Amino acid sequence: MRIAMIGAGYVGLVSGACLSDFGHEVVCIDKDKSKVRALLDGKIPIYEPGLDDLIARNVREQRLTFRTGLAETVAAADAVFIGVGTPSRRGDGHADLSYVHQAAREIGAAISGYTVVVTKSTVPVGTGDEVERIIREINPKADFAVVSNPEFLREGAAINDFKRPDRIVVGTDDERAKKMMQEIYRPLYLNRSPLVFMSRRTAELTKYAANAFLATKIAFINEIADLCEQVEANVQDVSRGIGLDNRIGSKFLHAGPGYGGSCFPKDTLALMKTAQDYGAPLRIIETVVASNDQRKRAMARKIIAACGGSVRGKTIAILGLTFKPNTDDMREAPSIAIITALQDAGARVRAYDPEGIEQAQLVMGNVEYADDPYSCAEGAAALVIVTEWDAFRALDMRRLKNIIPSGIVVDLRNIYHPDEMAEYGFTYRSIGRAE
């Protein structure tokens, strides 16, 4: 199969690389000349474990390449995937579809022979109809079908998620397109990953519903964690106690500082807006969004309380800045709201992250960045774990105890054990556990 992947961002690069690894001929197209040049030089613009090797192998074996212009590639392609960004539109929270529409116009002008146009980007219900209308308007004779095929990739685990998916959702009523999608995902399909066919609009909504449900699970367990702290219960035991019920499931019940990243905050907001527009408001999601927003600042209040009620003039050491481990992504990271609130309360902030410092510097200039966890903690009034990088799980606690005079540790991801921390002599605060 010849595949054109429009957009060499996160979704496009991972999907393009994995599809080429299945044996398809893939061209990733991006307007950004310097990005394409870097990719051709073997430089990968994002941090994703395993992606550099995967790209290098498929480039070497000539199944994967990168280009700036799309006309030639789209004309020759059996399938054209749209993997461009759909950021939140400033002001109203709706998804900004200008990149998707632009891609549709360019595809319309270039398409030739029967072509399946696949939206991989997360797009509001009805976007497939609009993409179809745009292509048809530009090229009335074009022979094509527009399919929705949302991605369910987690950053940091994206390659595994692509190659071992729980399911592949395909939204189309076109029989030729169904066959083509089956062919594209053949290796997964043969491996018994279910290919779930549905209407295009249903597939578009399924993506939002999945993310909104996962966000709801997180917001739910976070609120239960707050209650645990008040009634001397343990949220981790609650998670296990409810998660072993198959109807609930154990995943995404890890209490923390609130969800972040480029997907959950944006998608819950967009879904909420769509539902309001259609007169079918999603009250639960509205509450989830508000609860998660409030939570980030509540975490700063928790840190201030642990420091005896004031952080004015004190240095707070933050370990972990990215929205989750194994990424350098700072988008909507809880660390940003927490650090801002601490600074508003008069604290100086020193921070360390294994991969995220470069990105963090772009959004937070007034933070002192350390080279390692120990120089970050040196002399701080409190040490705060914000992101659960594995490297923080096995820190030398004796050494830390010696360099943090107050002995205050606030663990917003519950990576340490309260009893052990007490044995080391720390004053330890975590999430949803009575200490």
Residues catalogued as catalytic: 263
Shortest Å distance, C-beta 253 to ligand UGA = 6
Alpha helices, H only, 281-396 = 283-306, 334-344, 357-363, 373-377
Torsion of CA 361, 366, 369, 375, to 10 degrees: -170
Nearer to ligand UGA, 16 or 261 (CB): 261
Report yes or no: 259 and 218 within 8 Å, Cβ to Cβ.
yes
Report yes or no: 307 and 314 within 8 Å, Cβ to Cβ.
yes
Q: Is 213 annotated as a binding residue?
A: no
E strand or H helix that includes residue 318: strand 315-319
Q: Which of residues 134-153 bind ligand UGA (CB under 6 A)?
A: 151-153
Find the binder of ligand UGA among 89, 154, 201, 297 (CB under 6 A). 154
Find the binder of ligand UGA among 189, 252, 369, 424 (CB under 6 A). 252
Q: Is 266 annotated as a binding residue?
A: yes
211 touches ligand UGA by CB under 6 A: yes
Nearer to ligand UGA, 11 or 104 (CB): 11
Nearer to ligand UGA, 73 or 216 (CB): 216
The conformation of residue 154, written as its DSSP 8-state character, comes to: P
Structure tokens at 256: 């923390």
Helix, strand, coil percent content, the chain, rounded in steps of 5:
45, 15, 40
The C-alpha atoms of residue 240 and residue 296 are separated, in whole angstroms, by: 24
The C-alpha atoms of residue 298 and residue 302 are separated, in whole angstroms, by: 6
Binding footprint of ligand UGA, residue count (CB under 6 A): 21
9 touches ligand UGA by CB under 6 A: no
Q: Which residues in 332-348 are b (16+ Cβ under 10 Å) and which e?
A: bbbbbbbbbbbbebebb
Find the binder of ligand UGA among 99, 144, 259, 426 (CB under 6 A). 259
Shortest Å distance, C-beta 228 to ligand UGA = 15
324 touches ligand UGA by CB under 6 A: yes
Q: Which of residues 88-127 bind ligand UGA (CB under 6 A)?
A: 122
Shortest Å distance, C-beta 68 to ligand UGA = 25
Structure tokens at 41: 């030089």
Q: Where does this chain bind ligand UGA (CB under 6 A)?
A: 122, 151-155, 211, 214, 218, 252-254, 256, 259-261, 263-264, 267, 323-324
Binding-site members are: 30, 35, 86, 122, 152-155, 207, 252-256, 260, 266, 324, 331
